[in-house]
Amino acid sequence: MPESEVLSIFPTPVWKVDYEPEFHQGLNALILRNLDAMAEERPPVRPGGTLQTNNDLHTFDEFVELTECITEAARAALEYLCIDYSNFEITGCWININPVGSTHPAHTHPNNYLSGVYYVQTMDGADKILFGDPRPQASVVRPPTTGQTPFSGNEVSLEVIEGRMLIFPAWLNHGVPPNQGNRDRISVSFNIMFSGYTEDMSKPGWPPSLRLTSRRKG
């Protein structure tokens, strides 16, 4: 038999950070206390719907410990990707409250580079996140399979637990299945984008072969 090898090209990374119980239990309790203290009267939720707070929690002193965790994890992800950048920022951060029976349809987070979720309250029946295959052509032919492999499925379900943070490309389609637990499922979502992206990083990346000189406008 000749030597053979499977080459995995165009992989999609998802970073998983599990904080130690002695840390995340205190952090989660703090998040829940702040949510209770700062939230206005809870509005009615349509069947299957979700409650979301305003998306600027990263600007509140009450959530600074969470913001520091997000920043540290995002920095590690960008370092792993060997991204050359000067600075990044949290562009949005909000709490999701999924009552029993609620779901969150598949979606992406446009105009950001990374997105993520930190899990505050989960339980049996409310402990999954679904990621969809970002390659639309991959579903053109879907023959029956004899087993689960990363190369033949079009959806991946990951288990989530309290104190777990996931970070993934903001373009990756993701959603939440119905909450079949016995209480609210609570998580914190966030987005990451490069500061000054249009000024510093979005310019054409190739060197000129012919240079022009003239007086600049203005």
Listed by start position, the domains of the chain span 15-38+50-134+154-197
Task: Place 218 in a pLDDT band, splitting at 50, 70 and 90.
Answer: low
pLDDT tens figures, 76-118: 999 999 999 999 999 999 999 999 999 999 999 999 999 999 9
Query: What is the rounded distance in angstroms from the CA atom of residue 71 to the CA atom of residue 69?
Result: 5
pLDDT tens figures, 156-169: 999 999 999 999 99
Q: Would you say 38 and 62 are in contact if contact means Cβ atoms under 8 Å apart?
A: yes
Percent share of the chain, pLDDT over 90: 75
Whole-number mean pLDDT of the chain? 93
Query: What is the rounded distance in angstroms from the CA atom of residue 32 to the CA atom of residue 76?
Result: 27
pLDDT at position 159, please? 97
Q: What are phi and psi of 3, to 5 degrees?
A: -65, 140
- The CATH number fitting domain 15-38+50-134+154-197, selected from 3.40.30.10, 1.10.260.40, 2.60.120.620, 3.30.1490.110: 2.60.120.620
**Nearest to 134, CA basis, from 107, 105, 167:** 107
Query: What is the rounded distance in angstroms from the CA atom of residue 122 to the CA atom of residue 120?
Result: 7
